[in-house]
Chain A
Amino acid sequence: MTDIPLLSLAIWVPIIGGLLVLATGSDRNAPLARMLAFAVAVAGFVVTLPLYTGFDTTTSAMQFVEVSSWIPRFNINYHLGVDGISVLFLLLNAFITIIVVLAGWKVIENKVAQYMAAFLIMSGLMNGIFSALDGVLFYVFFEASLIPMYLIIGVWGGPNRVYAAIKFFLYTLLGSLLMLIVLLYLFMQSGGSFYILDWHQLPLPIEPQILIFLAFLVAFGVKVPMWPVHTWLPDAHVEAPTGGSVVLAAIALKLGAYGFLRFSMPIVPDAAHELSWLVISLSLIAVVYISFVALVQVDMKKLVAYSSISHMGFVTLGFFIFNPLGVEGAIVQMISHGFVSAAMFLCIGVLYDRVHSRQIADYGGVVHTMPKFAAFFMLFAMANSGLPATSGFVGEFMVVLGAVKYNFWIGFIAATSLILSAAYSLWMYKRVVFGKVANKQVAELHDINAREFAFLGILAVCVLAMGLYPFPFTEVMHTSVNELLRHVAVSKL
């Protein structure tokens, strides 16, 4: 069991599979490209399953570790491993990849092989980010994952795609290059090690800690995205094809949040405590202000994009109140948001494929022509607003509880989001789905087909299962989260 390099498989099966898909060439071979992509995506998911079943929940140590020397000149290693915090994201990522391949099955007719390959390669690279234990390896995966996303938005995106793609790339690059300098600084301070867990033990004075924290805040804050560096996200989401939006929302945003847990908090705990007010304030602004922004959107995708920012505000809030409820709630929220936002974007994609509009005003009375779809959309809109018994509730409730423990008013402000998210989600739902049939196009809509039913159905099961019985998720992360918080509580000065 342990001698199979599971993490390497999780990374390289999708990447090599993606290259194979790319090799199928022109659109004449499109059916082959689709089938192959689906097979690779499923294989990629299958190889991640043993990571969950074989996971030892009693230890916070890194598991499934693989080390081999990569660039000995700078002591850079190909060093992989997962703990309770990261393992779930590999599964989520591999799972979402299958959904994305299915979602692009019929819709994408242009350069199919390249489209599928881009998503598969992206999936492998993101697995690499979640499992890298070497600073440079992490950075390499982190940056390399920009390339496929840039192409996905730019090649298959909407009318303003070039602007959105370049904005996406440059914003993220800016943040991550600052992080690179920090990584080099830590390399020097630690006497020549890029091993992240070595950095966790590295004592640092407060001034460098603050600077490092701020550099990480820019790098990961852009990725999360946090207010006020969030503006690339609505553009990217609106222009990206459905699959791109799904991956962006479900996985790519989690990279930033994951960075906080793996880098910012354990490496510079004193600065994290010192500046927690800053992160908490930015998070609360995201939760409240961005919710209001979401309320006034006329474009469905933009609305969900803003709701993502607001939900990710919950995540960063949960991290920086430094208690187990908050951190675990935040991780649960990340996974739940992975399901819910993916489902929301897929629902919008279903409508867009038929009507070719994302404007709320172009719809109305969809329930009359697409009853099955309306039922699914209802469930996901409810989950997005954090209704109990859906996955959206669990995480938000835990974070709010944690926040109340930390400070009543912070908890209070955060809790308003439960109302606001219900307002924008359900109001949009009402305008799109209920009412009289708005126009001829809506009247001619046909309900979802078997393929669409399949991926929405799977996501619906996930959302409900996680809402009703979150224990399998929290069980995995529990030990690691406690260890992280114990570590963060100790000063490194």
Chain B
Amino acid sequence: MNFVVPDFYPAAAEIFVAVMALVTMLASAFARSIARSLAYYATQFTLIAAAFVTIYTMQGEPVYTFNNLFISDLMGDFLKLMIYFSTAIALLYGRAYLADRKLDRPEYYVLALLMTLGMMVMVSANHMLSMYIGLEMMSLALYTMVAFDRNSPRSTEAAMKYFVLGALASGLLLYGMSMIYGATGSLEFSSIAQAVYNQTANQIVLMFGLVFLVAGICFKLGVVPFHMWVPDVYEGAPTAVTLMISTAPKLAAFAMAVRLLIWALFDVAEEWQGMLMMVAVASIALGNLAAIAQQNIKRMLAYSGISHMGFMLLGLLAGVVDGDRHFALNAYSSAMFYAVSYVIMSLASFGMLILLSRAGFEAENIDDFKGLNKRSPWFALMMLFVMFSMAGVPFFIGFFAKLAVLQAVVAAGYFWLAVVAVLLSVAGAFYYLRVVKVMYFDAPVDESPIQAPAEVRIMLSANGIAIAALGLAPQMLMSLCAYALLGSL
């Protein structure tokens, strides 16, 4: 048996982030007096530098390494860039919030880096094992971050719930993977695809495996019927952590869905499309209707997230029509565009909550937004952008995300699906309008001026303006999504 040194070059960014996570941990253990800011700046530096490494090592053609466990391609690189970007912004928003609550320990930033690394591995996985390792790395870091406020019973409860249900979902996923292995004799995506294509796989076992895989993916995306953890975890976790959970991991879960379903199991697309269809409709319905009843805005945004992920799935399920794959690129890139848009909106929405919170005060009820237009017209306007964008009203990016997905659904001939999705969006518009209502139509309860560091204000303004600007010119992001997927299909 001869030992071959693998090609490390395509995984340079992952290696860099892993090394930096360890360095940050060690450095902050020794330099105790400046550990907090050191860890923060080291993390931000790592994320920015990782972006440059990713761009530098980017290659037009997919490159496999580590014995085909790992792939570097355009889709992966694009999603990785989005992951660095959203994690960096989430950390920036959360820093002062965590400091006010004495939660800004260096370990937090190390965990954030490890979470990022986990997502990067997920995004670049070409094998069930590397996918699973990445997923667990991300999830374990997130469980710990949710429990970071260890004196808060709510936070601990949320972490327990997240951990137990997450472990269950991992179990389902592993079980599905083992069945797929049993049916196809391989864990590597292209070999699985080959086996499925040749129909050498045992169909019954394959279908069972598929069902479990879909369940695992649905759990990570947080869609019905695996959504139960979402509202509780969003509500219980410190807002800065909720911000983390609701952004980059959605992109990683999207990548997981693309790799597992589209790469490995594209030839049974009609099967999983049917499952996703039910999941998507149920998510849009439940997410939008349940959000109406919420008073806690974190829970409301959690349900809204469920419906958004359902909408995103509509794009994934419109790819193959009666065996015709002509629509695939259009449909999958619309889903990707939707996921990216959602992350941008979600960053801004939880960023607003952090902006309104201060030491000793948690902004988490819709009423905390009362009269925001009086207190700060500028940030009320930004929140207005976010809410109308999420409701899918033009000129904001959320509208074009919905337009792209609906276009794919209509092109696939699922008119009823488009009509149902649209009718439920009208129900959904109600709760976004209610937030605008309390900001603009009601008198403020809390007259205190907004206390937030300058960098949060600037970043949040940029984020809000981006939602409007990308709505005025959505072409670039749309094309990037399509281009990134083009090489991977």
Contact = CB atoms under 8 A, between A and B. Distances in A.
Contacts of B423: 174, 177
Given A73-B479, A170-B430, A181 B440 contact: no
A188 B411 contact: yes
B326 interface: no
Contacts of B441: 154-155, 161-162, 165
Nearest to A73: B478
Interface in B149-188: none
A161 B349 CA distance: 26
Interface of B is mostly: helix
B275 interface: no
Interface in B61-110: none
Given A169-B429, A177-B425, A144 B395 contact: yes
Nearest to A140: B394
Contacts of B252: none
B136 to A, nearest CB: 37
Given A73-B475, A136-B403, A154 B430 contact: no
A114 B380 CA distance: 12
A165 B440 CA distance: 12
B422 interface: yes
Interface of A: 25, 70-74, 111, 114, 136, 139-141, 143-144, 146-147, 150-151, 154-155, 161-162, 165-166, 169-170, 173-174, 177-178, 180-181, 184-185, 187-188
A181 B418 contact: yes
Contacts of B434: 166
Given A150-B436, A165-B437, A139 B394 contact: yes
B441 to A, nearest CB: 5
B407 A187 contact: yes
Interface in B394-415: 394-395, 399-400, 403-404, 406-407, 410-411, 415
20 contacts: A73-B475, A73-B479, A74-B403, A111-B373, A147-B384, A150-B436, A151-B436, A154-B437, A154-B440, A154-B441, A155-B441, A161-B441, A166-B434, A169-B433, A170-B426, A170-B429, A170-B430, A178-B419, A181-B418, A188-B411
B401 to A, nearest CB: 12
**Residue among B384, B411, B422 with most chain A CB within 10 A:** B422
Nearest to A156: B441
B331 to A, nearest CB: 13
Given A177-B426, A181-B406, A188-B410, A155 B393 contact: no
Given A166-B437, A181-B418, A174 B478 contact: no
A71 B475 contact: yes
A180 B421 CA distance: 12
B13 interface: no
Contacts of B422: 177-178, 180-181
A140 B410 CA distance: 19
A114 B394 CA distance: 20
B399 A155 contact: no
A16 B425 CA distance: 30
Given A73-B475, A178-B422, A150 B433 contact: yes
A73 B400 CA distance: 12
Query: Across chains A and B, which 3 residue pairs bring their CB atoms closest together, nearest first?
Result: A140-B394, A184-B410, A177-B422
A72 B482 CA distance: 13
Given A162-B441, A166-B433, 7 more contacts: A71-B475, A144-B395, A162-B437, A165-B437, A170-B433, A181-B422, A187-B407
A155 B440 contact: yes
A185 B430 CA distance: 26
B426 A174 contact: yes
B474 interface: yes
Contacts of B429: 169-170, 173
Contacts of B478: 71, 73-74
Contacts of A184: 403, 406-407, 410-411, 418
Nearest to A185: B410
Nearest to B418: A181
A246 B388 CA distance: 25
A82 B419 CA distance: 31
Interface string B353-381: 00000000000000000000100010000
Contacts of B411: 184, 188
A181 B419 CA distance: 7
Contacts of A155: 373, 440-441
Contacts of A143: 393-394, 399
A70 B407 CA distance: 17
A196 B430 CA distance: 31
Nearest to A174: B426
A139 B399 CA distance: 11
Interface string B459-489: 0000000000000001100110010000000
A302 B418 CA distance: 37
B72 to A, nearest CB: 26
A181 B404 CA distance: 11
Given A144-B394, A147-B388, A170-B426, A181 B437 contact: no
Given A71-B478, A154-B441, A166 B430 contact: yes
Contacts of B475: 70-73
Contacts of A144: 393-395
**Residue among B426, B429, B478 with most chain A CB within 10 A:** B426
Contacts of A74: 403-404, 407, 478
A166 B410 CA distance: 29
Contacts of A188: 410-411
A166 B395 CA distance: 19
**Residue among B393, B404, B411, B479 with most chain A CB within 10 A:** B393
B208 to A, nearest CB: 36
Contacts of B440: 151, 154-155
B183 to A, nearest CB: 37
Nearest to A184: B410
A186 to B, nearest CB: 10
A154 B440 CA distance: 8
Nearest to B434: A166
B334 to A, nearest CB: 10
A115 to B, nearest CB: 12
A170 B424 CA distance: 12
Nearest to A154: B441
B426 A73 contact: no
B367 to A, nearest CB: 14
A114 B377 contact: yes
B415 A181 contact: yes
Nearest to A187: B407
Contacts of B415: 181, 185
Nearest to B410: A184
A165 B433 CA distance: 9
A10 B169 CA distance: 56
A388 B406 CA distance: 50
Nearest to A125: B395
Contacts of A161: 441
A157 to B, nearest CB: 8
Contact of A140 (B377, B395, B404, B436): B395
B377 A146 contact: no
A180 B403 contact: yes
Contacts of A165: 437, 441
